[in-house]
A = this chain, B = another copy of it.
Amino acid sequence: MIITTISMYRKDKIDMDDVLLLENQICFKIYTAEREITRLYRGLLEEIGVTYPQYLALLVLWEKERITVKELGKKLFLDSGTLTPMLKRMESNGLLSRERSKEDERSVIISLTEKGASLKEKASCIPTRLLDSIDLEGGELEQFNQTLTTILSKLKDRE
């Protein structure tokens, strides 16, 4: 028998009720973990005045000061339907500027303002504080990270 669900692996039997039990839904745990992490970030990011998705955009921009909406979307796996309004909010908060590319008028180039760039310093403590909260022994964290990467690449393959 091919093992495909947690409950099958644990109990070696198939049962419709069992398969559908919420507790067995690993996806529900990922869904919940995502919201818990966002909630935790909310507190940490409050002092620099950005949301978690905005913080992710800043992470990209701290690595590369100028980037098109398209490239940003590729890194964050978000489309213009999400990014355009979010970037407008960040612009009106003085974190970045949006300008049409001279070379290709279809593209919009996002670049950090002084203010946006300056937040990097304040944010540098955040990843450590976050992982302190998760508080896993290094090896287990590394194993978890690897499996998560594997899962992501398999999910991405199905596109």
B27 engages A37 (CB within 8 Å): yes
Contact B20 A127 (CB under 8 A): yes
B59 touches A22 (CB 8 A): yes
CA distance A16 to B36 in the complex (A): 25
Q: Report the nearest B residue to A18, measured CB to CB.
A: B127
Q: How many residues belonging to A are interface residues under a CB distance threshold of 8 Å?
A: 66
Judged by a CB distance under 8 angstroms, whether A48 is at the interface is no
* Overall SS of chain A's interface: helix
User: B142–A136 contact, CB under 8 A?
Assistant: no
Min CB distance A42 to B, Å, is 12
A residues neighboring B (CB under 8 Å): 3-6, 9-10, 16-17, 19-22, 24-38, 40-41, 52, 56, 59-60, 62-63, 75, 77, 120, 123-124, 127-128, 130-136, 138, 140-145, 147-152, 154-156, 158
In contact, B143 and A143 (Cβ under 8 angstroms): yes
Q: Once the chains bind, are B37 and A30 in contact (CB under 8 Å)?
A: yes
**A27: chain B residues within 8 A (beta carbon):** 37, 41, 130
